[in-house]
A and B are shown apart, each in its own frame.
Chain A
Amino acid sequence: GQQLNQSPQSMFIQEGEDVSMNCTSSSIFNTWLWYKQDPGEGPVLLIALYKAGELTSNGRLTAQFGITRKDSFLNISASIPSDVGIYFCAGQLRMNYGGSQGNLIFGKGTKLSVKP
């Protein structure tokens, strides 16, 4: 099936640091979304992106829809302890006729932990 390659798989953060993660694919996507999941909970939507090149912010989070339509980036500025969790990228695949596949394809996640 279609794959989304999300990196890094895990990273450690210190309070105040900026964090970056990305998602790439060999296929073109019409929509990119970023979710955060805490233990025992479902994913929570952070940001949705709809157009190539789009840059959208939600507080300290900024995400971009890559101009090739095959990648997306998420940045977290001035991280705080509650940023810890697993971040997932997800996308709607572009179909041959130009429309979108109905379901979302997810990456494997980036786990953010606090530096020991």
Chain B
Amino acid sequence: GAGVSQTPSNKVTEKGKYVELRCDPISGHTALYWYRQSLGQGPEFLIYFQGTGAADDSGLPNDRFFAVRPEGSVSTLKIQRTERGDSAVYLCASSQLRDTRAFFGQGTRLTVV
């Protein structure tokens, strides 16, 4: 597509529930990144994929967070047993191979109540 697309744009869930956030990268972009942004802060790295494999998942805060990219295009970020502290905007970005310029989607605002 023309840009990075993230769905849903907003998600409200109850504490303890499971959520999935989806990212459609720019067509042809092999690298895909997930970031989390809290109010008043810059984006914080979670995980990035080169193709289908997670090249670096060192930013995932704990084992409740998991991400997949089975066909090297669309990615899903999965959060189990959500906690109120997980509330944030989750941003996805993509870039071409060996290109540092990452292009972001509009984000998914997750609210855990």
CA–CA, A104 and B44, complex, Å: 9
From A41, A42, A90, A105, residue with most partner B Cβ within 10 Å: A42
Known A33-B100, A48-B101: A42·B31 in contact at CB below 8 Å: no
Q: Do residues B42 and A45 form an inter-chain contact, with CB atoms below 8 A?
A: no
B55 within 8 A of A: yes
How many CB-defined contacts (below 8 Å) exist between A and B? 63
Interface residues on chain B, size class: 20 to 34
For B45, the chain A residues whose CB sits under 8 A away are 103-105
Known A31-B100, A103-B59: A42·B41 in contact at CB below 8 Å: no
CA–CA, A107 and B44, complex, Å: 9
Known A31-B100, A33-B101, A45-B103: A103·B41 in contact at CB below 8 Å: no
Q: Which of B42, B55, B59, B107 contacts A42, CB < 8 Å?
A: B107
For B105, the chain A residues whose CB sits under 8 A away are 42
A86-116 Cβ-contact flags toward B at 8 Å (1 or 0): 0010101000000011111111110000000
B47-69 Cβ-contact flags toward A at 8 Å (1 or 0): 01010000110010000000000
In the complex, the chain B residue whose C-beta lies closest to that of A88 is B42
Q: Do residues B48 and A103 form an inter-chain contact, with CB atoms below 8 A?
A: yes
Count, chain A residues at interface, CB 8 A: 27
A43 within 8 A of B: yes
Known A42-B106, A102-B31, A103-B59: A109·B42 in contact at CB below 8 Å: yes
CA–CA, A101 and B56, complex, Å: 9
Chain A interface residues toward B at CB < 8 A: 4, 6, 30-31, 33, 35, 40-45, 48, 50, 88, 90, 92, 100-109
Closest 7 CB pairs of A and B: A106-B42, A42-B104, A103-B45, A31-B100, A42-B106, A43-B104, A106-B43
